Amino acid sequence: MDIPKKDSYSKKAYIVIFVLIIGLNVFAQEIQPVQVLIDSYRLPEKLTKETAKKAITSLKKALILCKDDALKSRIEYRIGMIYFKSDDFTQAIDSFNNLSQSDNCPPLTKLCSLNMAGRTYLVQAKSNKALEAFEDIIKFSHIFLTKDPNHNYPASVLKLAISAGFTRAEIYLSNQDINSAIVEYKNIISILGSNEVYATNSYAPLALDKISQLYLIKGNIIKYNHTASDLINKYPHYYRVPIIRLETEAVKILKGQNADISFSRGSFDAPARLIALIKCNSNNALQENVAVLMADLYSRYEHSYGGIMLGYHYAWLLDALGEKNRAVEVLNDISKQAVSINPDMPNIKQIISTLTYYAKCQQTILHGENNRYGEALEIIHSLKTDPNDAHMLTLSDSIEKGLQVLKREVSKDANDH
Amino acid sequence: MIFCLSGVICILINATCLVGIDSGSPALPALETFVTEPVVIENICIWIPAAKSGPFINRSCQIQGNQDASFYLPASVKHQKNEDCPPQTARILAELASFYHSQSLPLTIFNGWQWENTYNVCQFESTRYNLAKRGGCWENSWEAILNLSCGLVLLQQVDIDSSEIFNTHKYIPSESIIEVNTFSSLRTRDGYPKERQL
């Protein structure tokens, strides 16, 4: 009786071992592709063709072993990314298109594939195909919509959809298709809705700013004003709000003076055109109104990028109105303020540095006209001139030479006495 | 019974492994993808002191002399692109910047991503002024509008852990920066040209 029992135990043991071996084998088959995929992320960011080829061969082998659709999609996506990084865009687009058309691809991987397809088409200068791919992202992102009215798109999905929207608008603008660009910027605002996501919270005012400019370029003043007001009210902390306030007022005044005036470059040049108008216009009421407006705006937005821009225009207005001493004070003031501002964006940094340079040049000219050669020379000596800027170099040089001559020849310099 | 148990264990192990794959399993790296931040071009249009000449003094007390005054207001385009910024992305930046300067710079011809700019397209003609006689002196001052565009486009890598969580970081230097300068509305400053009596 004992012998059959032993037989039955050993049989059971064999079965257990057999099942475990099969099970572990299946498990190992999945583990190996996962490991290959993980290893592929250890590659350097800059890929040579050879490194890329090696990694892709391993990933393709892993793909054959892989039984799971989600993992397969991740491996296929990684293959596409390695092709993209090694500049093999034809192969990359095949991988991304395969994934974006596959029914078995998980939604997030599909969204990323659509995004990369769009980016790859853009690199290949296939703008129309890129437009289609980015449109597909926006459409596909709807499947992620939640019922929460304040947070209806998950953050990652929102990031990709908004980036796709901006790229579409920029492609339209580079083709000078203003109407389609406006539609696209409006679409971005509707996607953003009431989503409060830190990484995307600067996009709505940016889109509104672009829309208002495009309306003005098209000559639609009513829509320009409406959009700009909407932007000022909803996003008072947007960095361009101080300037937008001046620009909208300048556009109104210029339009009031000349109904046929056009703004083919948007509102950026409206304050400079207004200053030119004031200089040629003897209407005292108009001059006073503009001076009050600029003084008020400048006092509200000091110590910001927008405030410095306002101050610069205000100083030139004062100069045009003959208030030279006050103009020098404002120019001096904005040069001091500029030191305390340290913007993150290199383009804003560059603009502040340019404004400060010309503010100081103008100060020296005004001092020179006022026979204060010593003070003027002190400022011009403190100027840091960009050695690559031909205009700045010649201007500083000619102003300094002129001041040296005047200081030597004219005895009226108050500082000489 | 033992057969069933071991089977269940294997299924569970496999299932655990597979479920984690698309649900942000820590075993798998985040999904990486690339986006470009919206192109930001900061356009400004400001009055600036454009040029200054003199004072030139007639030291030799000639009866009357002529003084040439010429200066350049060179339009310029400085456009840089990192090796890893796609040329087409840099091209879009250049095209969007050119849109604002099309009136001052009609020659917006592109060679790939680069703007074929003819330097000094905004040169102003030189002028001649009478130099006052008998020790007199003459000077001039001009002002103009500077149209400046500073633009930037940046390629970002986005690492997506889940539909809710992502991180962005700069992909190996992959940005393009453009600076376009043009001048317009040149005029002589009030009170100039000026004859001084030194």
Interface membership of B8 toward A (CB under 8 Å): no
For residue A48, the SS3 value is coil
Partner residue facing B38 (CB), from A203, A394, A398: A203
User: What are the structure tokens assigned to B55, written together?
Assistant: 């004072």
Reported ipTM exceeds the 0.90 cut: no
> Which positions in chain A touch B95 (Cβ < 8 Å)?
173-174
| Contact state of B14 with A26 under an 8 Å Cβ cutoff | yes
Tell whether the model's pLDDT for residue B13 goes beyond 80. Answer: no
- Taking the C-alpha atoms of A115, A118, A119 and A124 in order, what is their torsion angle to the nearest 10 degrees? 160
Cis omega (within 30 of 0) for bond into B55:
yes
Min Cα distance B141 → chain A (Å) is 9
Partner residue facing B96 (CB), from A45, A170, A313: A170
Interface membership of B29 toward A (CB under 8 Å): yes
Most B CBs within 10 Å: which of A48, A84, A156, A355, as the mutation test of the B interface? A156
Query: What is the 3-class SS of B109-127, one letter each residue?
Result: EEECCEEECCCCCCCCCCE
Going by pLDDT thresholds of 50, 70 and 90, the confidence category of residue B10 is very low
Min Cα distance B55 → chain A (Å) is 6
Most A CBs within 10 Å: which of B3, B9, B11, B21, as the mutation test of the A interface? B21
pLDDT at A414: 43
pLDDT at A97: 96
| Contact state of A398 with B52 under an 8 Å Cβ cutoff | yes
pLDDT at B23: 42
Nearest CA in chain B to A319: B190
Min Cα distance B105 → chain A (Å) is 13
Cα A337 to Cα A229, A379, B31, B123, distances in angstroms: 27, 16, 44, 34
Instruction: Give residue for tokens 């011809």.
Output: B109
Burial bucket for residue A174 (CB in 10 Å: 0-12, 13-18, 19+): buried
pLDDT at A95: 96
| Contact state of B103 with A41 under an 8 Å Cβ cutoff | no
Compute mean pLDDT per 10 residues along chain A, 417 residues long, and list them: 54 57 50 84 82 92 88 95 92 95 93 96 93 96 77 86 96 94 95 70 92 97 97 93 97 95 94 94 90 94 92 96 95 91 86 94 94 92 81 89 87 49
pLDDT at A48: 83
Interface membership of B186 toward A (CB under 8 Å): no
pLDDT at A181: 97
The answer to whether A302 and A347 are in contact (CB under 8 A) is no
Neighbours of A22 (CB within 10 A): 13
> Which positions in chain B touch A112 (Cβ < 8 Å)?
31, 33, 160
Nearest CA in chain A to B138: A402
Give A376-379's long-range contacts (Cβ < 8 A, gap of 24+). A376/A403, A377/A403, A377/A404, A377/A407
**Which conformational region is residue A219 in: left (phi greater than 0), alpha (psi within -120 to 50 degrees), or beta?**
left
Q: What is the pTM of this model?
A: 0.85
Q: Are strands B114-116 and B109-111 parallel, antiparallel or unpaired?
A: antiparallel
Per-residue pLDDT tens digits for B124-181: 555 666 666 666 778 889 999 999 999 999 888 899 988 777 777 766 668 899 999 8
Most B CBs within 10 Å: which of A174, A251, A305, as the mutation test of the B interface? A174
How far does chain B reach from its first CA to its final CA, in angstroms? 117
CA gap B143, A362 in Å, rounded: 10
Average pLDDT over residues B70-78: 79
Instruction: Give residue for tokens 């100081």.
Output: A360
> Which positions in chain B touch A176 (Cβ < 8 Å)?
99
pLDDT at A49: 84
**Helix A305-320 / helix A346-369 crossing angle, nearest 10 deg:** 30
| Contact state of B13 with A27 under an 8 Å Cβ cutoff | yes
Q: What number of helices (H) and strands (E) belong to chain A?
A: 18, 0
| Contact state of A112 with B54 under an 8 Å Cβ cutoff | no
| Contact state of B47 with A275 under an 8 Å Cβ cutoff | yes
